[in-house]
Structure 1
Amino acid sequence: VLGNMLHKAGYATGHFGKWHLGGQRDVGEAPLITEYGFDKSLTNFEGLGPRVLALCDAHNGKPIKRHALGSDTLGRGKIEWVDRSLVTQSFTQAAIEFIRQSQRQDKPFYVNLWPDDVHGPWYPPEVRRGDGSKRELYLGVLETMDEQLGELFDVIQSDPQLKQNTLILICSDNGPEPGAGSAGPFRGYKTMLYEGGIRSPLIAWGPGLMEESVQGQVNQTSVFAAIDLVPSLLEITGTEPDENVQFDGENLAGVLLGQSDQSRQEPIYFRRPPDRDSFYGVEDLPDLAVRDGNWKLLCEYDGSQAELYDLKNDRGETKNVADDHPEIVNRLKKQVVDWQESMPADNGENWKDESKKKNKKR
């Protein structure tokens, strides 16, 4: 949606990196990225069109592995194999080239740069493997990614026109994997609906768009979801949304630019990935979650096993206060169950049964 709307408004639009809408594990019939309003794209095994696929070298004398998950059999775009430690660099260089071309054409630009680092598998350069432990490999990939993204940031910062008229947003899609990253004070990991699984950082940089007094400040109060980015960025760019479009997100442009510490007004709903009811040693993870203001409720698909947390006073979700607030539990439980039933069905409730069937067929 954002790519299409900005493209119609005259922006050059490019997507470089992870896409996750076709390409992976035999999904070859999905639309190409350029069909979503992007002029140029370069992706990995989770998208279609031109893509870079990884050669995973553990630097231990063993054969180099190819990490493609079936993408290399799908066609629909030129494929280039590169060392896993250079995949992010491929995306960064493509983004830089796209930006320079946009400048030559005197066009404003919008770029998605979505590397799959620091997602596993972790194959940093040999000099950054450390002792070969999961944590050291993760940190080696992180340091390498910082350098590679830094090349793009240097291009923006060293060009006076770009520096004064560019907004860079840096965020993540989920929490860490145990033994690799850290969720700090928050409970849980990737795959979980606790804060450690779903809360992620958001950094906004735009010195020409922000008052000097707010640059470098930290906002720890605003509740802001990724779905709020689209209407917020449309506001910042002065782009009118398409007619009859109803966003799930809210316009919080002032929060991104440091002008406000307000929060979204509507609740945020979550449901776990269908294959992750039992993960990282937890046998029965909550299926659904909703955050409304400072209240956070987690429960099963039918609303049972409800847990309630006051995130203002207990951001680590250490004390379940459901028994103390039955009215809030009933209200939020109904909201999240109704939301779940309004969504397209997934196979979360019968994933284990379906998985057993697949295994028997094999």
Structure 2
Amino acid sequence: MKLPRFSITLCLLLVPFLSARSAVEKPNIIFILVDDMGWGDLGAFGNKGTKTPNIDRLAAEGLRFTQFYVNSPICSPSRTALTTGQYPQRWKITSYLSNRAENERRGMAQWLDPAAPSLARSLKSAGYTSGHFGKWHMGGQRDVGEAPMITEYGFDESLTNFEGLGPRLLGMADAHDGKPPRPHSLNSEKLGRGPVIWYDRTHLTEGFVGAAIQFMNKAEADGRPFFINLWPDDVHSPFFPPADRRGDGSKRELYRGVLETMDEQLGKLFDHVRDTPALKDRTLIVFCSDNGHEPGAGTAGPLRGAKGTLYEGGVRSPLIVWGPGLIPAGKAGQTNGTSVFAAFDLTVSLLALSGGTAPIDTTFDGENLSPTLIGTGTDSRKKPIFWRRPPDRKGTAEENLLPDLAMRDGEWKLLCNYDGSAPQLYHLPADAGEATNLAGRHPEVVEKMTRAVTAWHDSLPPDHGPALGEKRSRRQAPRK
């Protein structure tokens, strides 16, 4: 059975708009967050074997950042940092949100506290209307059906997948080639809390794109600036590319097929913005991944590590920023390879660009780097970036155990255990692949950074999981 590609109607988006307000001086913001895409997966970031012409064109017309980081190597905490502008550990979201028992075992919250700062809520102070379309994964998944609705975080409308509540598009796998369709929903339909549309999983990104375009057209008609989260479930496994994009059926080929299909579907959104005069010069598109690639599927290019690890391949993300009306014409198409900043800096920077204000009692961990973001400056964040590994990502065999903490400070990257043991120190300008451990040659740098990262770790709520606080006497051998 072939499922239809439904037109997502606004009647399914349940929360009404606020009153109209002129938005001439405020940029529309579209934030595209891909799921599990590697740093080296795009043509614009050096991949020769995958065709991503629409995303590559976005980079050619905008800015490309090669030293941008997310705040966790796994989805839920990464998304929490983007939403709040803060380290996700402050809200006890330290790995992917799972079922109730698993969350409790790992010392995690069941969902993001609605009292947490929210970019969407803060943008309301600047007159924005906000919509979330796609994966949420900050509450409302598995058996956690009483989590807050997405609209409780400041969004006026939402349409999500099986890892959120409210109106949902749920995928039917194998519906594209005549096989009996099967749901890929993790039983989300049993949670209630919003209408469900069953959708061909191959075209799920297309469904979210269609809903986002309807939302922006309505906002434009009402004379309001808009903020949109477009967060596809692609390119997360399992992989459901069209039949003609399966290659040899290997994991890598299936992944490539999903990535190329997603690029094609996102292209409809990019073209809509380009071809609509009222949008082109007043819209900023920000594009990145929530964490590194799944091993065996994507690629980090020259970087070490993948999803779930604190090495560069787990936490460094491709970042593209497009905005003809905001980026100086002479800067378009350039690559920024020097500015070091992270996802929570995006939150603060976008708020600054909008003219919005955060709650008076909010202290962000992110910094305002809005000039860097639109190409009128090249500053890096002033404070270091810290990471803590997901509590369920440690490894088993001694030689494969992963570091617990990491820190980027200027040109240096340190990884170590919770107690500061087994340090690994890398000079990233010369060794982006983290191949040569310089800890023995620079003990003063190791001591300073170890004190800083362990103090940061101790200042945050604890989590639980395999080997929490474990001490190891043997260092993890650096990759040769």
TM-score surpassing 0.5?
A: yes
Gaps of at least 5 residues in structure 2 are 1-117, 471-480
Matched, 1:343 2:454: no
> Do structure 1's residue 5 and structure 2's residue 122 form an aligned pair?
yes
Query: Quick check: 1:140 aligned with 2:237?
Result: no
1:124 to 236, 241, 245: 241
Is the contact made by 2:241 and 2:257 (CA closer than 8 Å) also made in structure 1? yes
1:38 aligns with 2:155: yes
1:24-67 CA-partner distances (Å, limit 9, x unpaired): 22122211110000000011111111111111218787643322
Shift of 1:176: 1.2
Task: Give me the whole-angstrom Cα distance separating, in 2, the residues matched to 1:54 and 1:87.
Answer: 7
Displacement, 1:209? 0.8
Q: Encode CA deviations 1:121-140: one digit per residue, 9 max, x unaligned.
A: 11011121122111111111
Q: How many residues align?
A: 353
1:301 to 418, 421, 424: 418
Q: How does 1:258-297 map to 2 (within 5 A)?
A: 258-278=375-395, 283-297=400-414
1:18 aligns with 2:127: no
Q: CA deviation at 1:80?
A: 1.4
Measured after TM superposition, the shift of residue 141 of structure 1 is: 0.7
Distance 1:30 1:266 in 2: 34
- 1:229-268 maps to which residues of 2 (within 5 A)? 229-268=346-385
CA apart distance, 1:350: 4.7
Separation of aligned partners in 2, 1:166 and 1:308: 40
Question: Unaligned 5+ residue runs, structure 1?
Answer: 354-362
Q: Distance in 2 between matches of 1:61 and 1:44?
A: 23
Secondary structure of 2:317's match? Answer: coil
Name the TM-score, length of structure 2 as normaliser: 0.71
Whether contact under 8 Å (1:255, 1:261) holds in the other structure is yes
SS of equivalent residue, structure 1 residue 55: strand
Q: Which amino acid aligns with 2:381?
A: R
**Percent identity of paired positions between Structure 1 and Structure 2:** 59
Shift of 1:240: 2.7
Secondary structure at 1:222 match in 2: coil
Q: Does the alignment pair 1:210 with 2:327?
A: yes
- Matched-pair contact (CA < 8 Å) for 1:191–1:279: no
Write the deviation string for residues 3-35 of structure 1: whole angstroms up to 9, x where unpaired. 001123211100001111112221222111100
Match of 1:223 in 2: 340
Q: Which has the higher contact order (CA 8 A, sep 6+)?
A: 2
SS at match of 1:309: strand
2:144 maps to which of 16, 27, 34: 27
Q: Distance in 2 between matches of 1:74 and 1:244?
A: 35
In 2, distance between residues paired with 1:58 and 1:334?
A: 54
Letter in 2 for 1:164: D
Closer, same or farther in 2 for the Cα pair 1:179/1:98, shift >3 Å?
same
Q: Deviation string for 1:176-210 (max 9, x for gaps)?
A: 12221110110011111000111011000000111
Pick which of 154-163 and 341-350 moved more: 341-350
> What is the match of residue 443 of structure 2?
326
Does 2:298 correspond to 1:181?
Answer: yes
Whichever structure has more helix as a proportion of its residues is 1
Q: Secondary structure at the match of 1:324?
A: coil
Q: Return the offset for 1:82.
A: 1.2
